[in-house]
Amino acid sequence: MNKRSPKAVTEYERAIGVRIREARIAAGITQTELGELIGVSYQQVQKYEAGHNRLSGARIERMVTALNRPVSYFIPNATDVRLSIDPGRAFLAMKDGQALATLWPHVPAKARRAVIDLIEELTAGDFNG
């Protein structure tokens, strides 16, 4: 009788790992950066991407936020509980977002309005920089 260990990695985990790698590369972040965003080492990210380790529900949620993808991107046929991405949370999951959030309290109040005006102008689509 050939019993499979309940902890044995399946093709399903490997497929999820491939999706993680694709999303990470598309996001333009390294394994180290992704690890920092989800609270693991780059070695653990490597194991997830290779399908050698399973992800917990909490880790999948962090992955969804860090890589700005719906749950169904990683887990086919899953019902996506994130119907819309909270823009603030998605922003803070990005390295630049974290840096800006850390520095923002040190920006003088008058300069904050100028920064917001600049960002609004840049995102209006009229910038050809």
pLDDT of 126 reads 59
Terminal Cα distance for the chain, rounded: 66
> Does residue 36 share a domain with residue 64?
yes
> Does residue 20 share a domain with residue 71?
yes
Task: Give the sign of the dihedral formed by CA 105, CA 111, CA 113, CA 115.
Answer: negative
Q: Smallest Cα–Cα separation from 56: which of 41, 40, 36?
A: 40
Amino acid code (one letter) for 42: Y
> Does residue 68 share a domain with residue 10?
yes
> Does residue 106 share a domain with residue 78?
no
pLDDT of 44 reads 96
Asked if residue 14 has pLDDT above 80, the reply is yes
Q: What is the mean pLDDT of the chain?
A: 81
Asked if residue 88 has pLDDT above 60, the reply is yes
Q: Which two tokens stand for residue 89?
A: 């949370």
Is residue 101 very low, low, confident or very high in pLDDT (cuts 50, 70, 90)?
confident
Q: CA–CA distance from 70 to each of 36, 96, 105 (Å)? A: 20, 21, 31
> Does residue 111 share a domain with residue 67?
no
Range of the domain at 112: 94-129
> Does residue 68 share a domain with residue 43?
yes
User: What's the CATH code of the domain at 16?
Assistant: 1.10.260.40
> Does residue 59 share a domain with residue 39?
yes
> Does residue 73 share a domain with residue 13?
yes
Q: Specify the 3-state DSSP secondary structure of 3.
A: coil
In order, the DSSP letters of 40-100 are S-HHHHHHHHHTSSPPPHHHHHHHHHHHT--HHHHSTT---S-SS--HHHHHHHSHHHHHH
Q: How many domains does the chain divide into?
A: 2
